[in-house]
Structure 1
Amino acid sequence: MKQKLKTLLHRDGPWAFILLLPSILGFFIFVLFPVVASFLISFTSWDLLTPIKWVGFENYLNLFKDETFIKVLWNTLYFTAVTVPIGIIISLFLAVALNQKIRFIKFYRAAYFLPVISSMVAVAVIWQWIYNPEYGLLNFILGLFGIDGPSWLSDAKWAMPAVMITSIWKGLGFNMLIFLAGIQGISESYYEAADIDGATWFKKFIHITVPLLRPTTFFVTVMAIIGSFQVFDAVFLLTQGGPARSTSVLVHYLYQNGFEYFQMGYASAMAYILFFLVLAFTLIQFTLQKRREE
């Protein structure tokens, strides 16, 4: 066996290396090098034009003195705390509903998944029309009930909820698909035994579906938290972070510092703060999941 493996490596090794070379080079050039470079830049003051100046931990210390950074950090945590649980709950119920044997079920599944593969630019244009205070669909519906709708995207009170609604709507299809795959992996024998015992659909959902979907729920939760911390396109396209930074989040503020204010060191430090936040929340999720399994 060892001799055959040596012969195979000797014969096909060079070709395997050649075929893998583009991916290896891509990883080093576009992933590893930028990660290392941005980490080093985070300890400098650099505006892309003047020579780089080493400042040590000054950027990291200034971040926590920056009132705008504290505000966008709070906005990011607020966005995550609201969108993640609501999105998971709705997508789970959608997955249960779309697991039924009804006519045109494939059409319904495709319809709910369509926003996931749609361009965020197109999605933003549609939702800007929906949120329009004068002729938007949402305020028109509210008007039918005698409610005077707000200026959703230009009101500091309602802008963030509007961005959250759009983000939840766009991401539902992905989470729904993952949950649907998990549900279809549950053996029908559990539900048949529950039917014999006279269990209602709600009891079957609580005592069979939810417990057996824990690994799937864990995966969806981790991915949703990571995605919510990295939200940018919805904010950038719908509100540009306004009004009064009520919708500005970490990645949006990072983008502004790097590519509008040209404070590359400060932006890089912010990127690593974001990295450590995502890492911390992910490790917490893994620890809690491990304890549940034990």
Structure 2
Amino acid sequence: MATSVASRRLSASERLRRSLNNGRVTAALILLPPALILFTLFVMLPLGESVYYAFFNWNGYGTPTDYVGMENFQRIAGHSVFQKAVTNTLKIVAISLFLQMPLALLLALLIYRKTPTNALFRLIFFVPYILAEVAAGLIWSFVFDGNYGVTASIAQSMGVESFFILADRDWAFVAVMTVIVWKYFGFHMMIYIAALQSVPEDLIEAARIEGAKRHQIVRYVQIPQIKHALVVSAFFAIIGALQVFDIIIPLTNGGPSNQTHTIVTYLYTFGLTRLNIGFGSAVGVILFIAAITVAVFYQRFFMNRSET
């Protein structure tokens, strides 16, 4: 027993000596402190301040003194616009998982092979993701403009009355989701293309020899082989949906009648722009808790299982 303990201690000391010799510990000692300092200054401290401010009625000037306890959270819970923002955020999550990702996978299956034509299509489909969110929102706000935009031109050519999509309570958020799918499906497509290119051709060829059809190869060979990419892509889609902001502001600014708000645009509109920093901080705390909960749950029940 004593001998085994001593051997384990020796092996641990031997591992430490080897780590020192190959420079890993030295590199960690040099690189880790700056990263921790930056993370503390720009993540942990602002987060802690947000939690603190969430319990005050504060406009952002001076020192917060009007302590209101849980009043900000109670106001948020009873605010119909916040409930609409949560619903819209969940809709974006759903559209990202059940429309954006399947569309990206379909296109990836069509153009994943390395040919000049496929390379051109990849570029075309990936360009929207490269475009800045604000720029994309401004471009599509012009497209949807009922007076001078593309939709107005189409309506005139068809001899029908122009339709103001972004001013319609029922269709404005449909337009927003259309832009979101257009903007981000190329990102997921590139993830799938990279994964599909790593699938051994021997497996696909063996399936063909066995008489498998194209859809059977996709279902039973390729998709199981890229399961890790699908799991990671879904995680990015969910977290990204929780953070949608830059596209909505230039498109609708949350309108009409607050029908297109997400949680982040709600925070911006009812917290920052109205100088109600305590209220906005409470929304930020709720969003942070939601994001952390999703991340932990997803890591526990999906990513860990995909590794087995």
- Work out whether the TM-score is over 0.5: yes
Match of 1:54 in 2: 67
1:152 equivalent among 154, 165, 187: 165
Cα offset, 1:107, TM superposition:
2.2
Most deviating of 196-205 and 233-242: 196-205
Match of 2:96 in 1: 83
Is 2:267 aligned against 1:254?
A: yes
For the 8 Å contact 1:84–1:228, the answer to whether it is kept is: no
RMSD: 2.7
Match of 2:56 in 1: 44
For the 8 Å contact 2:113–2:197, the answer to whether it is kept is: no
Inter-CA distance 210–140: structure 2 relative to 1 (3 Å threshold):
farther
Distance 1:145 1:202 in 2: 39
Inter-CA distance 4–187: structure 2 relative to 1 (3 Å threshold):
closer
Structure 1 segments unaligned to the other structure (5+ residues): none
1:23 equivalent among 32, 35, 48: 35
Distance 1:212 1:197 in 2: 18
For the 8 Å contact 1:41–1:265, the answer to whether it is kept is: yes
Name the aligned partner's letter for residue 72 of structure 2.
N
Match of 1:107 in 2: 120
Q: Deviations over 1:72-130 (max 9, x none)?
A: 11221122222332110111111111113543322221222111121223222321222
1:32 equivalent among 39, 44, 55: 44
Inter-CA distance 215–16: structure 2 relative to 1 (3 Å threshold):
closer
Most deviating of 39-48 and 100-109: 100-109
Inter-CA distance 280–146: structure 2 relative to 1 (3 Å threshold):
farther
Number of residue equivalences: 291
Cα offset, 1:234, TM superposition:
0.8
Name the aligned partner's letter for residue 46 of structure 1.
W
Most deviating of 27-36 and 119-128: 119-128
Inter-CA distance 89–19: structure 2 relative to 1 (3 Å threshold):
closer
Is 2:209 aligned against 1:196?
A: yes
Match of 1:72 in 2: 85
Q: Percent identity?
A: 30
